[in-house]
Amino acid sequence: MSAALEYARYPSKGHDELCLRVGVQHAKTILLVPPLFDEMNRMRRMLVDVMRLLDARDIGTALPDLPGTNESLFPQEQVSLVLWREALAHCLQTLPECRHVASFRGGCLIDNISDDSRQWRFAPAKGSMLLRRMMRTRIASDKEAGLSTDMAKLTAEAQQGQVNLAGNSIGSAMFSELQDAEPAPPDDIRTAQLKNSAQRGDVALPGSALWLRAEPDDDLLLSQAIANDLLSWMSS
């Protein structure tokens, strides 16, 4: 797995955002919609392994930085799910050969970006779960600092402008979107779940829930299972 990684750019709201590319020369490309917030960090290595494995099978991939994440200069407190969806649509326009979108965890909340692309999902997450986990992390760190916070206080703070949750500046629009966001109904979408998951999907893949780990990690078994399922889905 020695495929070269390249950085491409795509325009969004007057900013140039980065997009990691592997296998630019291939005829087919999959747009990967990353998990959101800290889950993205925990799963990035696993996703890049998927990109390298697909390159070896002549499939190109693109993994965009969402505005306000990674190297992006876009103000984080101004991002929203709507803005991320628009950014992904702009990114897709820079990939004329791309007809396949694969989204991961919270990425499934922002993946309905094109009517002419086929969709694949891995372990879709509800917005409310991502939000509750971030609020709990903030409450725990406040507690260690001798402060008392609860979810009601954080919700009120968010409504007044923005709230810092687990290192993320969450603006009021993003906060209220996450409270209700669920992956759009899976019409014609292939959904993959982990074998030990409580959720039923179209296919159960081996591997571990890296998004729950204390530290980022790789999982080659999972990367291989995802790459194989994407290949069979694309040829079906």
Q: Which residues make up the interface to another protein (CB under 8 A)? A: 124, 126, 129, 132-134, 136-137, 139-141, 143-144, 150-151, 166, 186, 191, 196, 198-202, 208-209, 211-215, 217
Q: Which is nearer to another protein, 129 or 231 (CB)?
A: 129
Q: Which is nearer to another protein, 93 or 199 (CB)?
A: 199
Least distance from another protein to the Cβ atom of residue 16, Å = 32
Q: Which two structure tokens, joined as six digits, stand for 138?
A: 């903030």
Tally the residues of the chain: 236
DSSP letter (8 states) at residue 108: G
Q: Which is nearer to another protein, 27 or 212 (CB)?
A: 212
Q: How far apart are CA 180 and CA 47, in angstroms?
A: 27
Cβ–Cβ under 8 Å, residues 74 and 15: yes
By DSSP bridging, strand 59-64 and strand 28-33 are parallel
Least distance from another protein to the Cβ atom of residue 49, Å = 16
Least distance from another protein to the Cβ atom of residue 147, Å = 13
Closest CA to 21 of 42, 5, 45, 40: 5
Q: How far apart are CA 29 and CA 177, in angstroms?
A: 30
Cβ–Cβ under 8 Å, residues 114 and 101: yes
Q: How far apart are CA 104 and CA 169, in angstroms?
A: 22
Least distance from another protein to the Cβ atom of residue 196, Å = 5
Q: Which is nearer to another protein, 89 or 204 (CB)?
A: 204
Least distance from another protein to the Cβ atom of residue 186, Å = 6
Q: Which is nearer to another protein, 22 or 108 (CB)?
A: 108
Least distance from another protein to the Cβ atom of residue 109, Å = 13
Q: How far apart are CA 177 and CA 47, in angstroms?
A: 26
Q: Which is nearer to another protein, 10 or 211 (CB)?
A: 211
Cβ–Cβ under 8 Å, residues 91 and 64: yes
